[in-house]
A and B are shown apart, each in its own frame.
Chain A
Amino acid sequence: MILVILTTFLVLYISSEQAQQALLSFLYPSAVQYTHSRKTLQEMTISHVLLTLGATVIASVIGIALGIITTRGKGRVFLPLVLKLNAFIQTFPPSAVIILAFPFLGFGWKPALLALVLYSLFPVLGNTIVGFQSVDPAVIDAAKGMGMSGWQQLWIAQFPQALGLIMTGIRHCYILNLGTAAIASVIGGDGLGTIIISGLTLQNSALVLSGTLVISLLALIGEQLTSLVAVRQVA
């Protein structure tokens, strides 16, 4: 229900310049302009969402895969190393990554995507590891004793129990990316960063708010969507 209301509001807001003007002029009656001069809010939202989702999916796949590998069998040896490396990567400021990656990846969305993936790997990987470690050893012993193969133990016994924590990690990763994706515009990647940075340089708070509002709505919608998955898993 909340999901439907939020989505409707978002769609209405980004697709209609009148709506943007009406809302923003109410808050900032003296602003010079209420929309970006070159791009529509809709275009910026779509590229922002694509960048965020892309980074989230890639970080989740890498994070879950690394988490699974380092919590079972011979992979356990690498667990401390991976955790330390991951924490180290997390300390890279995404803006620095973008600058450093620029010589290899050039302008546009590619360096931004790289920066986001590195930055948001931590919550997924960390939660996957904790999720698998929290599975009762007796359950794994029973699963093995029942004659489950390694894959069956993972898929039938462990993964469903770790899923709750993994979903929390993915949600965290999504929110992190949503906010950080705004910096993509400094290297020519599109997104809602464009309108926010324009607003900052023009000292126009209305533009900043417009971009921020959309990001917040996207965050809330994402939260609702992932909690739907989590609820279904418990029930």
Chain B
Amino acid sequence: MAAHPTIKETHTFIRTEHLSVRYGATEALVDCSLEIPAQRVTVIIGPSGCGKSTTLRCINKLVIPSSGAVLYEDSSLQQVQDTALRRKIGYAIQSVGLMPHMTVEENIALVPRLLGWTRDTQSARVTELLRLVRLDVQSYRKKYPSQLSGGEAQRVGVARALGADPPVLLMDEPFGAVDPLTREQLQDEFIRIQRQLKKTVVFVTHDIDEAIRLADYLVIMKDGAIVQSDTPEQILAQPANSFVEQFLGPDRALKRLSLFTADHFLEEPLTGEHDRAAQALTACDNRCYWQLDETGRPLAGYTYTAEKLIRREIIGEQHTVREWASLKECMATMLNLGFPAITVVDDLGRVMGEVRFETIQRISIA
């Protein structure tokens, strides 16, 4: 039913045990125990100074904990030196940190170069990675970081983090410094890449929408401690305390709807080629009737409002959704149409089924 793969069907990749970090008198991290699921996206979120970046930097040993430990459950990360460990853990940060004196190609090939790959293997890997992040190989290869836009630089940063195909990827607000439109594109790209590569990702952000969009496992932190950790669906449905509730915002019910896709909630619609709505509907059952053309595309919808039968024409994309639309989009489309249901259509615009308001209501209560 959920849109995200569950974290229960995988093993723990990295475990932090009672991790504490102290800088002089300030405690950056207090007794932080966390299990990071393999091949899933773990998003750590919280207000600034909550210790989310510190947790991340403990994992690749850029920060040494005052007490507690990071345990690498996966054998690929065990018994290696700090530098060797970091070469197996991709690292992407908000300010990207591309070497300004090196080309895009040289930047992406940095870790392979440190690992002593041959020139040909390095070059082939760069081509592969530029394709993966959808940058034109020929035109970007020889560019310098100063010639890139913020979004492009961030793509190169992600490509560089993936340089030597590490099993783990640490991302510290990687999309924080770009405009909202670019950020959304980068998130889409990230989801696409992650579906393809299935890395163990630890992603730090302060943007709750980004967190809900990307997380398989959501960790909410405050003042150096973990407040709640669970799947986003579960956290949105049952916030542990008023802080989490506040952090999720007053529209958390709507946010939660963005985690479910329409194809899981299709219901059999009342349809017909002719205008027989009056016979099909009764004033009290709150249903819709869809008039279709000969190919199965919706032409108009009928429903009772205040005991009066009303008819509305269905205008393509404004009044229908595709099967991968989230329930939040379904809800918005319902409001556009003013009906208690909307039709879900396929590639050719033919009706596959309908999503009803009562379904959405049921999920929100559960």
**Contacts across chains A and B counted by CB atoms under 8 Å:** 60
Stretch at the interface among B79-87, B299-307, B310-318: B79-87
Of B62, B89, B93, B101, which is within 8 A of A138 by CB?
A: B93
Of B91, B96, B100, B110, which is within 8 A of A161 by CB?
A: B100
C-alpha spacing A143/B88, complex, angstroms: 14
Report, nearest first, the 6 A-B pairs whose CB atoms are least far apart: A142-B97, A147-B86, A147-B87, A145-B91, A138-B95, A138-B97
Note all chain B residues with C-beta closer than 8 A to A144: 62, 86
Most buried by B among A142, A144, A152: A142
Most buried by A among B84, B96, B163: B96
Note all chain B residues with C-beta closer than 8 A to A160: 99, 101
Q: Count B interface residues, CB 8 Å.
A: 24
Q: Are A141 and B62 in contact (CB under 8 A)?
A: yes
Of A139, A140, A149, which is within 8 A of B83 by CB?
A: A149
Note all chain A residues with C-beta closer than 8 A to B110: 146, 156
- Contact pattern, A 175-211, Cβ under 8 Å of B = 1, otherwise 0: 0000000000000000000000000000000000000
Q: Can you sample 18 A-B contacts with CB below 8 Å?
A: A136-B95, A136-B97, A138-B97, A139-B99, A140-B97, A142-B93, A143-B99, A144-B86, A145-B62, A145-B91, A145-B170, A146-B114, A147-B84, A147-B85, A147-B87, A148-B114, A156-B99, A160-B101
Q: Are B114 and A152 in contact (CB under 8 A)?
A: yes
Q: Is the C-beta of A154 less than 8 angstroms from some C-beta in chain B?
A: no
Q: Is the C-beta of A61 less than 8 angstroms from some C-beta in chain B?
A: no
CB distance from A145 to the nearest CB of B (A): 4
Q: Are A148 and B83 in contact (CB under 8 A)?
A: yes
Of residues 10 through 52 on chain A, the ones whose CB sits less than 8 Å from some CB of chain B are: none
Q: Count A interface residues, CB 8 Å.
A: 19
C-alpha spacing A156/B160, complex, angstroms: 15
Q: Is the C-beta of B343 less than 8 angstroms from some C-beta in chain A?
A: no
- Contact pattern, B 83-118, Cβ under 8 Å of A = 1, otherwise 0: 111111101010111111100000000110010000
C-alpha spacing A89/B306, complex, angstroms: 94
Q: Is the C-beta of A157 less than 8 angstroms from some C-beta in chain B?
A: yes
Q: Are A146 and B111 in contact (CB under 8 A)?
A: yes
Known: A141-B62, A141-B93, A142-B93. A147 touches B111 (CB 8 A): yes
CB distance from A142 to the nearest CB of B (A): 3
CB distance from A216 to the nearest CB of B (A): 34
5 other contacts beyond A142-B96, A146-B91, with CB at 8 A cut-off? A145-B170, A146-B86, A146-B114, A149-B83, A160-B99
Of residues 39 through 97 on chain B, the ones whose CB sits less than 8 Å from some CB of chain A are: 60, 62, 83-89, 91, 93, 95-97
Of residues 145 through 178 on chain A, the ones whose CB sits less than 8 Å from some CB of chain B are: 145-149, 152, 156-157, 160-161
Of B87, B98, B170, which is within 8 A of A139 by CB?
A: B98
CB distance from B229 to the nearest CB of A (A): 24
C-alpha spacing A160/B144, complex, angstroms: 14
C-alpha spacing A148/B84, complex, angstroms: 9
CB distance from B76 to the nearest CB of A (A): 14
CB distance from B61 to the nearest CB of A (A): 10
C-alpha spacing A160/B100, complex, angstroms: 9
Q: Are A139 and B97 in contact (CB under 8 A)?
A: yes
C-alpha spacing A144/B86, complex, angstroms: 8
Q: Are B60 and A145 in contact (CB under 8 A)?
A: yes
- Contact pattern, B 205-239, Cβ under 8 Å of A = 1, otherwise 0: 00000000000000000000000000000000000
CB distance from A149 to the nearest CB of B (A): 5
C-alpha spacing A157/B319, complex, angstroms: 54
CB distance from B156 to the nearest CB of A (A): 12
CB distance from A137 to the nearest CB of B (A): 9
Note all chain A residues with C-beta closer than 8 A to B91: 142, 145-146
Of residues 107 through 159 on chain A, the ones whose CB sits less than 8 Å from some CB of chain B are: 136, 138-149, 152, 156-157
Note all chain A residues with C-beta closer than 8 A to B170: 145
Note all chain B residues with C-beta closer than 8 A to A157: 99
Of residues 151 through 166 on chain B, the ones whose CB sits less than 8 Å from some CB of chain A are: 160, 163
C-alpha spacing A118/B86, complex, angstroms: 43
Note all chain B residues with C-beta closer than 8 A to A143: 97, 99
C-alpha spacing A228/B99, complex, angstroms: 22
Most buried by A among B87, B91, B99, B100: B99
Note all chain A residues with C-beta closer than 8 A to B83: 147-149
In the complex, what residue of chain B is closest to A157 when comparing beta carbons?
B99
CB distance from B102 to the nearest CB of A (A): 8
C-alpha spacing A138/B177, complex, angstroms: 13
Note all chain A residues with C-beta closer than 8 A to B99: 139, 143, 156-157, 160-161
